[in-house]
Amino acid sequence: MRKVLLEDWLTEVGCDCVVFPAAGDVGPANADSDFEGASLAWQNGVHYSNGNRAIRHLGIPTVSVPMGILRDKRVPMNLTFAGRAYDDVQLLRWRTLSK
């Protein structure tokens, strides 16, 4: 499934990896005291990293690197690099290029 959903697609579009924000958002400050805030904080992409479960189940190698600080929320944000199976060393090389 990993080959069909990611690796064949990467080959088709001529890419070596895919890069995306590690998180979709940050939980609100009132998440521990407000039902609506808690609902937002428990969403996939907030409580767990974007794609976390699917990526782990498919065995897709990833590495996350700091991207900077979100201006409006003043919290750190990471980028995730995802690649082909057994390209772990190459992912680490791309990570160093992102700095």
**What are 40-81's pLDDT values in tens digits?**
888 877 877 777 777 888 888 988 888 888 888 888 888 889
Cα dihedral: 68, 71, 73, 74 (round 10): 50
Q: Which residues pair with 77 in a beta bridge?
A: 68
pLDDT grade for 14, boundaries at 50, 70 and 90: very high
Average pLDDT, stretch 28-50?
A: 84
Write out the H or E segment, with its range, that includes residue 7.
Answer: none
The residue ranges of every structural domain in the chain are 2-24+31-97
Confidence (pLDDT) at 98: 60
Sheet holding 76-83, edge to edge: 17-21, 76-83, 62-69
Confidence at residue 99, expressed as pLDDT on a 0 to 100 scale: 57
- Entry pTM: 0.75
